[in-house]
Amino acid sequence: DGIVTLSEVKRTYYLGEPVHALDEVSLSLPEGSFTAVMGPSGSGKSTLMNMVGCLDTPDDGTVTVNGQDVGALSDGKRARLRGSELGFIFQQFNLLPRLTAAENVTLPMVFQNVVGESRRDRAKTLLTRVGLGDRLDHTPPELSGGQRQRVAIARALVNEPSVILADEPTGNLDTETGSEIMELFAELHDDGSTILMVTHERHIAEHADRIIHLVDGQIEEIEHVTENPPVQ
Ligand code: ADP
Ligand code: ADP
């Protein structure tokens, strides 16, 4: 059904007392959906992202990505699934500061069968798509925060991921720049991308189709975001 599914996923940490970071969470991300995750600190947002991101596996229950049972894979296969099916966008951008925008975008292609010249072409196409066609040879320190996040988005798209995972993508940006980045997310969504995004900001979450509210490792509510009424 979903590109990503969680079925009664449990993840418990033992710090003297057991902490149920995820407590029987079930969730499906349909293809093309845009889901936001909100919740207080310690509610399980990072643990959920690590599960879907194939960095962690459940103690109980099942996570699937593109039909593959993540918990049943070897570490190597899980890493490969992560590289081929998932695109990551972070609060701190996580770009390599000495590489140009084009080189940062090219990096994930190095382990794929993409030859040198077409890598550069592909980086150029993607950077143009995010509005940075004229910044290919700039390094991150030469770019604004919003531009850096655009480079990171281009990098996340490079292997045509099934799912884009965004962890506080606007957390380091001012309000206006954050809104511009959300407009870019809306375009990706319109183009059919499946997106899972953690945010603390309500107005950012409202760009998604639905908002998952996590509390104490459980889904407290799934809120469907109603479309804004059409402008008269
Ligand atoms: P959030 O991202 O919503 O702040 P987390 O997923 O980071 O929540 O954490 C959920 C709960 O699990 C918290 O109580 C946290 O302290 C605990 N936790 C998360 N990761 C670990 C870990 N590696 N070791 C021990 N406890 C952890
Ligand atoms: P955020 O709330 O911004 O998601 P956190 O500060 O909750 O980030 O967690 C940052 C990282 O530390 C996460 O990878 C999480 O798994 C880990 N972590 C959280 N709580 C604990 C803990 N009690 N012990 C060890 N690691 C933890």
Give the residue, out of 20, 46, 92, with the most ligand 2 atoms within 8 A of its beta carbon, to mutate for a pocket test.
46
Q: Please report the pLDDT score of residue 153 as a whole number.
A: 98
Cβ burial 125-139 (10 Å sphere, 16+ → b, else e): ebbebbebeebbebb
ipTM rounded to 2 decimals: 0.75
Tell me, in angstroms, the distance from the centre of ligand 1 to residue 46's CA: 7
User: Mind giving me the DSSP string for 53-81?
Assistant: TTSS--SEEEEEETTEEGGGS-HHHHHHH
- The two tokens of residue 59 are 């103690």
| C-beta of 46 in contact with ligand 2 (< 6 A) | yes
The model's pLDDT over 23-34, given as tens digits with 9 standing for 90+, comes to 999 999 999 999
pTM flag (> 0.80): yes
C-alpha–C-alpha distance, residues 119 and 112, integer Å:
10
Mean pLDDT (the chain, rounded): 94
Cβ burial 18-53 (10 Å sphere, 16+ → b, else e): ebbbbbebebebeeebbbbbbbeeebbbbbbbbbbb
Output DSSP code: residue 44.
S
Q: Give the closest ligand to the alpha carbon of residue 212.
A: 1
- Gyration radius (Cα) of the chain, Å: 18
Percent of the chain with pLDDT over 70: 97
User: Is residue 15 over pLDDT 90?
Assistant: no
Pocket of ligand 1, beta carbon within 6 A: 13, 15, 19, 21, 39, 41-47
The model's pLDDT over 185-216, given as tens digits with 9 standing for 90+, comes to 999 999 999 999 999 999 999 999 999 999 99
| C-beta of 41 in contact with ligand 2 (< 6 A) | yes
Output DSSP code: residue 43.
S
- The two tokens of residue 61 are 């229950």
User: Is residue 231 over pLDDT 60?
Assistant: no
The model's pLDDT over 88-126, given as tens digits with 9 standing for 90+, comes to 999 999 999 999 999 999 998 877 777 777 889 999 999
